[in-house]
Amino acid sequence: MPDAAQSSDNGSESVSEARVLATRAFGAQPKLTDCDQETIDRIVGQVASVAAQHAETLAELAVQDTGFGIVADKTKKNLFAAQTIYEFIRPMKTVGVIRRLEDRRIIEIAEPFGVVAAIIPSTNPTSTTIYKLLIALKARCAIVISPHPNAISSISKTVELLNQAAIDAGAPIDAISCMTKVSLEGTQALMQQREVSVILATGGMGLVRAAYSSGKPAYGVGPGNAPAYIERSADISKAVSDIIAGKTFDNGLLCSSENSVVVDRDISEIVRNQFAEQGGFFLNKEETKALSRGLITPERLPNQNLVGRSATDIAQHCGITVPSDTRVLLAPLPGVGRDYPLSIEKLCPVLSFYTVTDWREGCQRCQEILRYGGMGHTMAIHSQNEKVILEFGLKKSAFRILVNTPTTLGSIGMTTGLDPSMTLGCGGHGGNITSDNISPRHLINVKRLAYETRPLRLLEAPTSKTVQATPTSGLTAQHVSTRVDEFLKHRGFQRSAKHSADDTDTAQSNALGPLTSHKFSKSSDKQLESRPAEFVSEDDVRRALSKSQRIVINDRTIITPAAQDLANEHDVFENHTLPRSR
């Protein structure tokens, strides 16, 4: 998300564009909702196929756009989204009946959440765009993309290619769109638009806070500051290889990449030697200070000019001499917090390095690291001791604890059985609504048909006196039908003559039949206008607007908040205040 300094003079144009795109997406939403499963699967499959075909081209554009990362690794991320994530979501049922719980007599039906506002970061611009488009379309949600200002070209090109693929496969026009005039004001306006139903926010803490304060449901992702603990029983060579592989993948741009290494003291020399053999360079105290000054800003944020750069580039920028084959820089630190700048999330191939006496102290150190910017996100443990592994699982405030695998790739489901995803929830620890890896399931609401399993008569407390039931006891179908007619007539509806006659003949034989089978016709507009409404919903206001009518209310009218907002905006209500009794 653009910050205040990046917000350009086109703020008003950006706000206007956000409103237009959200409105168009809202118009396309009913058409997407009406698609059957076969159509949705065809659209998603075609989008994934085109994304895979252009994976390398889009990766090159992302690097050119941002200056971040490695083309080969960005290509892998694009293919991960277009192939691995696609194969995971492909068999999901997202239309109509998705599950039947026969023993509980419940039928679950999928309902799309609605229009999605998707914020795309500069760190993983094309892969995140591919991923969010796929899960939104699979859930039958229209989507509006707000790109990071430093990655507009690559994100726009990705949306252009995939939008055409979706349309060719049967998606409605405007189901996918992308802002071209990007500003802070425009992004905020998009998230706050009435037509937007849910927000997928990927970016810094400012973005996540803005998403959660927009008044809309939002899936935001907190920062990552993943520690990797190497316990004395670990396969040390593999542990070091995994950590370096995770930290150097796309030059450390994924928020789940390792940021610190915590090692048992009695194996620390072996670990150091393994790092040195595999391309790690340990800094001395002076070099650590120089790296801190060059890499970390006074606000305790990574220097944007060094984010996603190689270890050798970073060392050169900071005046540190390292071998040309250096893959990762390691800075030994005695503590965590503001006094130790390199203990934060760094988004580049730099690791802080800690030694501890045993797994208990290692547990405490990892917790300190998580508290300093990675609560709820990710960590790793490298160990063969199942008891220690379980202790970390029970006590660490991270919702993805990866065992003997890189955090970067394990957290997103590339090297583990976790749901493959490019958006990782941090749960309550990280101020997020979920701890899940986000998938189409999070963009679907489930409505349920629930049949009676425990009849009310069986739940009633027995009485001391047996009462003989008579044919006239309780509510008859005719009595219920008459009361419903009276209520609907009061609201401006009346039953057609044909169905009134039919219901009279069949009332007794259809005593348990659904009342929804009755047909009603609208009364005259004059009757609607003259009688104060008992209850007004947002749909009532929209219906009145479409007919250029006003809604009469009084002090007793119950009005939903959404209806009140919309009515005030368009001056729909006519207030007939009841006279006070004397």
Catalytic residues, by residue number, are 255
Tokens matching residue 489: 């007539």
In whole angstroms, give the CA distance from residue 386 to residue 140: 42
- The amino acid present at 189, given as its one-letter code, is A
SS3 292: helix
Contacts for 505 with CB less than 8 Å, ≥ 6 apart:
none
∠ CA(204), CA(350), CA(436), 5° rounding? 40
Alpha-carbon span 60 to 74, nearest angstrom = 8
**CA 515, CA 500: separation in Å to the nearest integer?**
12
Complete edge-to-edge strand list for the sheet that includes strand 143-146:
176-178, 143-146, 115-119, 196-201, 218-220
Q: Which residues contact 548 (CB under 8 A, 6 or more apart)?
A: none
DSSP E strands: which ranges in 411-508? 444-450, 493-495
Gap between the Cα atoms of 249 and 424, Å rounded: 17
CA distance 354 to 228: 10
With b for 16 or more beta-carbon neighbours within 10 A and e for fewer, the 555-581 pattern comes to eebebbeebeebbeeeebbeeeeeeee
Task: Please state, in angstroms and rounded to a whole number, the distance separating the CA atoms of residues 376 and 396.
Answer: 9
Sheet holding 376-382, edge to edge: 280-282, 328-332, 350-356, 258-264, 226-230, 376-382, 398-403
CA nearest 155: which of 186, 131, 189?
Answer: 131
What length does the chain have?
A: 582
Number of other CB atoms surrounding residue 114 within 10 Å: 22
